[in-house]
Amino acid sequence: MPAAAAAAAAAPPNPNVLQLAPRLRGLVSFPSSYSSSSPFSNRLRLRLPRAASMSAEARVPVAPPAHPTYDLKAVINLALSEDAGDRGDVSCLATIPSDVKAEATFIAKEDGVVAGISLADMIFKQVDPSLKVEWFESDGNYVHKGLQFGRVYGCARNIIVAERVVLNFMQRMSGIATMTKAMADAAHPACILETRKTAPGLRLVDKWAVLIGGGKNHRIGLFDMVMIKDNHISVAGGITNAMKFVDRFLAKEKLALPVEVETRTLQEVKDLLEYAAENNTSLTRIMLDNMVVPLGNGDIDVSMLKDAVELINGRFETEASGNVTIDTVKKIGETGVTYISSGALTHSVKALDISLKIDTELALQHSVVLLDTC
């Protein structure tokens, strides 16, 4: 079981999810080859390509970013609750007896980096701890269209209740991870970062997907890094004043936090470097904002960015921001910047298409049994 799911393993079924008994009363008829000791064994399956049970690309699970107040279980409960409303899944209640079991298979419907497996485990456990989940791939692995990369077995109603919430999270996370992987590979040796331009309420989920895709996290929120941007500088009366105020504040509050300052011109870079040379400063990183200039022919001019990196000369970390796309990131990474940040990783992500389908053969057998008992 992925590490991030372990904490949820003992959780009771979500009381709001379906209004059905968590204890299953029995199985409908299965093929004679069915073995109750192994719910996934010896059954007819969809004829689709499937990964080996122990993937050659098995990875150490990527833990979500740390946050002092974010409650991942509460986010899952909210997602389940908004689906269930005050009646539960009336479609399942109307069509599927509570004691019917089923097996459903995760299928990639396009190529990409899969993410959200650990979170999916947490959701299934929150809906029904008796569901049995098996994965053939790990978070961060590349999957191809048509690949079966996981399956879940147990109460059919509970699988269907969890289905859309699991897929919504996994598809979004996989889309983020896929884009992050492409950007991170192109940006090397610079590191790719996301921003705070995440979906409201999904800050940790979006940033978790970036880690799975091979990127690194920028600040999680307003609390874990001092980041002086253009509005701060304007109100403070200039970049030097803003940096002075930061140093005084951190010293007074006895806080040790990373400090980043946004610069928009080479003169601002020079002013900041001059201040840092003359003062004991907490400055750790200089953002070089919009120093990548788009050209009419679709190319970019990075000469200003290169000049800024040379001025800083390794004294502080550097971060390029603005006009970062999958087409421009390689050229930006070649300038020598430490980091490249891109809001597009999370604010305009294209979800990766994934489906969860109940085993066709098994479902047909269930239908026959149900018709016979009517």
CATH of the domain at 310: 3.20.20.70
Q: Report how far residue 174's alpha carbon sits from residue 115's, in angstroms, rounded to the nearest whole number.
A: 4
Tell whether the model's pLDDT for residue 361 goes beyond 70: no
Are residue 108 and residue 126 in the same domain, yes or no?
yes
Q: Report how far residue 370's alpha carbon sits from residue 28's, in angstroms, rounded to the nearest whole number.
A: 8
Comparison of pLDDT for 331 and 370, the residue scoring more: 331
Matching residue, tokens 């996290």: 217
| CATH code, 361 | 3.90.1170.20
- Of 360, 359, 318, 358, the C-alpha closest to 336 is 318
Q: Report how far residue 170's alpha carbon sits from residue 352's, in angstroms, rounded to the nearest whole number.
A: 8
How much is the pLDDT for 250? 98
Tell whether the model's pLDDT for residue 8 goes beyond 90: no
Give the total number of structural domains in the chain. Answer: 2
Q: Report how far residue 202's alpha carbon sits from residue 76's, in angstroms, rounded to the nearest whole number.
A: 10
How much is the pLDDT for 319? 98
The amino acid at residue 370 is: L
How much is the pLDDT for 39? 53
Residue 332 domain flag? yes
In this structure, what token pair is assigned to residue 267? 């003169």
Q: What are the phi and psi torsion angles at 4 (to 5°)?
A: -65, -20
How much is the pLDDT for 60? 86
How much is the pLDDT for 59? 78
Are residue 202 and residue 308 in the same domain, yes or no?
yes
pLDDT in tens, 43-69: 433 334 555 443 446 678 899 999 999
Are residue 333 and residue 363 in the same domain, yes or no?
no
pLDDT in tens, 173-205: 999 999 999 999 999 999 999 999 999 999 999
How much is the pLDDT for 57? 60
Residue 341 domain flag? yes
How much is the pLDDT for 40? 52
pLDDT in tens, 291-316: 999 999 989 999 999 999 999 999 99
> What are the catalytic residues?
164, 197, 229, 262, 289
Are residue 241 and residue 310 in the same domain, yes or no?
yes
Comparison of pLDDT for 85 and 33, the residue scoring more: 85
Comparison of pLDDT for 274 and 7, the residue scoring more: 274
Residue 260 domain flag? yes
Residue 88 domain flag? yes
DSSP 368: H
- 279 alpha-carbon distance from chain centroid: 40
Q: Report how far residue 197's alpha carbon sits from residue 347's, in angstroms, rounded to the nearest whole number.
A: 5
Q: Report how far residue 75's alpha carbon sits from residue 82's, in angstroms, rounded to the nearest whole number.
A: 11
Enclosing domain of residue 160: 72-176+351-372
Peptide bond into 189 cis (omega under 30): yes
Tell whether the model's pLDDT for residue 10 goes beyond 80: no
Are residue 166 and residue 241 in the same domain, yes or no?
no
Residue 158 domain flag? yes
**Cα dihedral 153, 57, 184, 144 sign:** negative
- Of 152, 125, 138, 150, the C-alpha closest to 55 is 138
**Cα radius of gyration (the chain):** 25
Residues above pLDDT 90, as percent of the chain: 79
Residue 249 domain flag? yes
pLDDT in tens, 222-242: 999 999 999 999 999 999 999
Residue 247 domain flag? yes
Are residue 213 and residue 357 in the same domain, yes or no?
no
Q: What share of the chain is helix, strand, coil (3-state, %, to 5)?
A: 40, 15, 45
Q: Report how far residue 138's alpha carbon sits from residue 132's, in angstroms, rounded to the nearest whole number.
A: 17
How much is the pLDDT for 55? 44
- Of 239, 191, 179, 254, the C-alpha closest to 217 is 191
Tell whether the model's pLDDT for residue 24 goes beyond 50: no
Residue 82 domain flag? yes
How much is the pLDDT for 365? 57
How much is the pLDDT for 359? 72
pTM of the shown model: 0.83
